């Protein structure tokens, strides 16, 4: 399955509509996983504890932007994953969930709305510039962590070679050519991790009295929930056929 030629058929920005305003607040990115407009995103975007006067909206940015209500949202009890539907979306392009995790240093690409900005209007309202972007990188580490506050269970995550910018949460991480399924979703962006670079990246400035300044450098890296959790949640909700049994030893 190739990477979509027209990514805006596969991904969309998610915004919150304040019904009392009405005003829109940009939240992050979602991506379709079935032709019936079922999508996946990060659970923390569609907070189940949000007040009842907030409506979650998918924005179709193909041509003149159009808004569509998000329905039938379900949340993983263990991981930062949510699924929902956008029934009125026309011709979504579903992305395939990978059956295998990517190898260390494997090339990948993300499609997201992390360049989105808000502009104030003369009447006091705000206007969202919903700008899609794609970034290429690779997998630095593939491991399991229990230190993510947004996932209450130990979570298999991919650590990527670039940070997750604001608005990238919920975006798909797609495999490139060396993966058995090019274009398949190998992860879902959820957060950043920040590494303190030691020891060579610590710079000290000395004078005759000793150290007077020390600069420390940090490297922010994106974290993405592994496709193993995405597939498991999709299976639990009937979005995929059952995975085949592993061969007997």
pLDDT at 246: 46
| Best CA proximity match to 164, nearest among 114, 218, 130 | 114
In this predicted structure, which of 77-86, 146-155, 216-225 has the lowest mean pLDDT? 216-225
> Percent helix, strand and coil across the chain, each rounded to 5?
5, 45, 50
Could you write out the DSSP letters of every residue in 15-75? Answer: EEEETTTTEEEEEEEEEE-STTSEEEE-GGGG-TTS-TTEEEEEEE-SSS-EEEE-EEEEE
CB atoms within 10 A of CB 144: 9
Gap between the Cα atoms of 48 and 46, Å rounded = 6
- pLDDT, one tens digit per residue, over 22-40 is 677 889 999 999 999 999 9
Strand residue runs (E) in 76-166: 82-85, 107-112, 117-120, 126-129, 133-145, 155-160
Output the pTM of the full model: 0.85
Whether residue 158 has pLDDT greater than 60: yes
Spell out the domain ranges in the chain: 7-117+127-195+219-236
The domain made up of 7-117+127-195+219-236 has a fold known as Thrombin, subunit H (2.40.10)
H-state helical runs in 92-246: 227-236
What would you report as the CA-atom Rg of the chain, rounded to the nearest whole angstrom? 20
Given the structure tokens 């939240």, which residue do they identify?
Answer: 27
Please, which pLDDT band fits residue 178 given cuts at 50, 70 and 90? confident
Length of the chain equals: 249
Distance (Å, whole) CA 136 – CA 124 = 38
Q: Two tokens at 68?
A: 């569509």
Task: Give residue-wise pLDDT tens across range 88-101.
Answer: 999 999 999 999 99
How crowded is residue 34: how many other Cβ atoms within 10 Å of its Cβ? Answer: 16
């Amino acid at each position: 399955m190739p990477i979509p030629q027209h990514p805006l058929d596969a991904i969309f920005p998610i915004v919150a509509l304040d019904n009392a305003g009405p005003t829109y607040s940009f939240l992050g990115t979602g991506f379709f996983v079935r032709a019936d407009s079922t999508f996946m995103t990060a659970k923390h975007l569609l907070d189940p504890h949000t007040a009842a006067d907030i409506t979650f909206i998918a924005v179709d940015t193909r041509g003149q932007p159009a808004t569509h209500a998000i329905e039938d949202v379900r949340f993983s009890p263990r991981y930062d994953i949510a699924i929902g539907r956008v029934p009125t979306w026309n011709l979504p392009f579903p992305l395939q969930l990978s059956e295998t995790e990517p190898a260390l240093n494997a090339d990948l690409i993300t499609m997201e709305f992390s360049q989105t900005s808000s502009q104030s209007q003369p009447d006091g309202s705000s206007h969202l510039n919903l700008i899609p972007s794609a970034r290429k990188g690779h997998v630095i580490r593939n491991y399991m962590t229990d230190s993510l506050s947004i996932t209450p269970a130990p979570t298999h995550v991919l650590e990527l070679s670039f940070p997750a910018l604001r608005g990238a949460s919920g975006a798909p991480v797609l495999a490139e050519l060396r993966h058995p399924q090019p274009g398949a979703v190998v992860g879902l962006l959820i957060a950043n991790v920040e590494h303190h670079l030691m020891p060579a990246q610590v710079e000290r400035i000395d004078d005759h009295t000793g150290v007077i300044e020390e600069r420390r450098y940090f490297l922010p890296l994106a974290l993405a929930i592994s496709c193993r959790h995405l597939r498991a949640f999709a299976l639990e909700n009937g979005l995929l056929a059952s995975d085949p049994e592993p061969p007997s030893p």
